[in-house]
Structure 1
Amino acid sequence: MMIHGFHSSRQDFSFGPWKLTVAKMHVMKSANVEKLADELHMPSLLEMMFGDNVLRIQHVSGFGIEFNATYALKCVNNYPGVLKVACAGEWEESRTMGEHYKEIIRPYDWTYTTDYKGTLLGKALKLKVVPMTDHIDTEKLKAREQIKFFEEVLLFEDELHDHGVLSLTVKIRVMPSSFFLLLRFFLRIDGVLIRMNDTRLYHEADKTYMLIWAIQGLR
């Protein structure tokens, strides 16, 4: 699938010692999708996979965090999902490719629900994750600051065979004093449920740490 008028792009933006990189590419080719599905031990993947899309925040020292579709899918449970609705069988049947497919089908969560919170970068140095009592200052985020940089990246999306929609997106906005990132997994099954898993990342220019707040299972 190719979106009319879409052009691949890559942008870099500097915020103090941090470099923000955003890459937006075309939908993965079917051969690459099938190869990735096999690597992840899933019988199929989503309608729209953007395996080369990425949003990366990297320090000049080399460590950082990035968000991409492949690692997000690694956090999907590889067992039959507990969520069973009337459309589940029909949706899974739409992905079959004949009798041979039925012989090799493996259990997996057909909603692709992921609790992915990002991938840490760095070999010798890495971000250290520790519990903190600090919270993201929402009042500062409400302040009318100039937005220096903004981007939204789609990592994957599926219409669940016309029974709803699911998507994983990550977006970031940079102000003079801070940057704020939101990673959101969204699932809507028509007439059944709405689910959201959010990860929010916030960093102030005069701080030596980032705050990450994950909210799982919003319904």
Structure 2
Amino acid sequence: MEWGGSDYGNLLMQYCFTTRYEGVSQAPFDSLNLAFHVGDDRSNVKENRARLEEKLGVSKLVFMDQVHGDTVVLVHTGDESPTCDAMITNVKGIGLAVMVADCIPILFYDEVHHAIGVAHAGRTGSLLNVGQKTAQTMAETFGSRMEELKIWIGPSIHVCCYEVGIEVTKGFEKALQVKEGKYFLDLQRYNQEAFLALGVKREHIEISDVCSCCNADYFSYRREKQTGRFAGVITL
């Protein structure tokens, strides 16, 4: 796993991006699959989630029913299981998780107002500006300021592998690369530029150089089709 964290007074924030290892699921979901909806045995997924909770040291880890939309949900108790593609909270002891297998897991941290968020930004979510709406909702809800917000754009499919048809390139012109008549999207750049336009500082945006399609340590729908989901997680 890729880990990080920060102390702020008596508050500890930590985040991680899981890999496909250290779980109990069998092929093709081997081994730390965190998603129920992909066809894996539910008992294995429950065990994998429990192992992640234990490693994080939290008792409540909230997962979303992700639908490639732009709805942002405020988590109050940690018992929620919302249908949405972004969540925010300022409640200590709660972890927020976003599951992916090529889409971008985006994590947010406002250390001034002690608030966190996650967003699921695939091609559709990026075009709907789900990440930017998450940042704006944190501003409206917690008073977060864009220049203070820290953002992690996690492991995901990169432009090297993200070939698409021309019919889905509308709106992505500035994040499009054309090679030998083929079209490739750079969703990391697309989201970074959108955050910069909001006023987020460039030095506060960290972009993982891991391409989930190239790197077999991560689940990749593009590479494997039937596969599991890894996650970006952030906790207070």
User: TM over 0.5, yes or no?
Assistant: no
- TM-score, L = length of structure 1: 0.31
| Higher strand residue share | 1
Q: Which structure is larger by alpha-carbon Rg, 1 or 2?
A: 1
Which structure's relative contact order is higher, taking Cα pairs within 8 Å and 6+ residues apart?
2
| Higher helix residue share | 2
- TM-score, L = length of structure 2: 0.29
